[in-house]
Structure 1
Amino acid sequence: MQQTLRAVIIDDETNAREALTNLLRIICPEVEVCGEAKNADQGIELIGKEKPDLVFLDIQMPGKTGFDLLASFEKVDFGVIFTTAYQEYAIRAFRFSAIDYLLKPIDPDELRAAVDKFKSQAGSINPQQIQILQEHLDPAKAPRLIERKRNDNQRIALPTAEGIHFVQMTEIIQCESLGSYTKFHLVKGPAIVVSRLLKEYEEILDNFYFFRVHQSNIINLEHIKRYVKGDGGQVWMSDNTEIEVSRRRKDEFLALLSDFYVNSGKLR
């Protein structure tokens, strides 16, 4: 018999609350919706009263936001799945923070997957995850599609079986594909292995000074010691590893490398 999960839905749109409730009844019958709220203040009261296992939380609501709601709790000891209408850069922001989300209108398969993931990794959200998410959802801070953003002062949340690691992007030397996993090689400490494809991190890091030079490697341009010319060429990284540059990616890589040196003031 499946364990019942007690959940609440906090969203200012009546139709959105009804639609999610109906989907949960059909797709996730083990989830019991024990209450709904239409704003953050009501949501805070509801969570205090019901002590749910899981909260489906809208980000944008009149008055206080979903972030304000979470900030009101000294400890977030319940699971959170954000529901949002954000589209443009939301996916990158949520992946950066390793927080689960559902884009509206909610897809039944994605809802099932999100609930299953919560059940397998039941736990609270770290405040640092919320901070990273807010930073990347801020339109003023979001990089334009035609621009690269400096890696300085940027953090990324890396979820592993042991927990979530918060890493400064300047500390990442390279990301290496290990089949269905990605291995992060860092300046300090042991490498971190995440159960996600390298392709996903290619999309996440696309607006920063990282580049996929080969099928198996994404490198941080800040950690290149030298480039050796060749068919595609090779790069020597700050940890003395040598990485091949694929021939088909060579021109794009060299153009980005030149751009990096100009914008970082590291002209050579």
Structure 2
Amino acid sequence: MKNNEQQALHRAMSALQEAECIVLGGGAGLSAAAGLAYGGERFTASFAPFIRRYGLTDMYSSGFYPFRTQEERWGYWAKHISLNRYEATVTRLYRDLFQLVRHKNYFVITTNVDSQFEKAGFPADRIFEVQGNYGYLQCAVACHDRLYNNETAVKEMLEQTINCTIPASLVPMCPVCGGTMDPHLRINAYFIQNEGWHQANEAYQRFLSAAEEKKTVLLELGVGYNTPGIIRYPFEKWTHQNRNATLIRLNKSDPEGMKENESKTISITSEMQDALSAWIAGDE
């Protein structure tokens, strides 16, 4: 590790130790660093039949593939949801992250939909999953705002998938309008923001308001430019507006930030696990 990286890690550790509040922002790069990558060997090993049949290249773009039938679509989505929500156990990176902040006053905002924060021990009432969660289904046209747990349905689909296709009888249908259903993900304008979503958002906003006059660390983890308006830009703005704020950005490919925040930003491009291990060791 280079000297500048070591210095950044020491600065970050000091800021975390002194922090009265910590806001964690988890992006796609965090889960990728934890081993839950959407491409590469993990994708090719799990989706070989779908790759041969449809020419799919990764799990992100595959979510927008125009499958010819709902039976084919859910043949894919059952495997996608199962792999990322039900087969994936809690990862070391998320466990270490919880160990780092568990005795602090913290809140999590994340664009990730894989429940890794909750699996690692973060209480649900301290997590705002802005983009949804793999564990639920919703009406595809949002005719009502109820969400439906999909674990049993996904398991049945997987068990009866043949040639990348599920039986017509297992295609999820909306119990209210009779139309199709979607995973509860922000994939179009019909994403449901129900009472639970708004309660989480309000809890997050209350936390930010209470932190304004306190020593606060915004710990940004693996957030790029896919949806920068959810975590990255708001973190920059909040850091700029609050004199006691420090922004710690862990991001291998996009470490840059606002010049106005240069003195209040600690950018770290080393491996996330290395950084967390160093911080935890320093906190013991």
Give the shorter-chain TM-score range: under 0.3
Q: Say which structure is richer in helix.
A: 2
The structure showing larger relative contact order (alpha-carbon pairs under 8 Å, at least 6 residues apart) is 2
TM (normalized to structure 1)? Answer: 0.25
- Work out which of the two has the higher radius of gyration on C-alpha atoms and give 1 or 2: 1
TM, length-normalised to structure 2: 0.24
Identify the structure with the greater strand proportion: 1
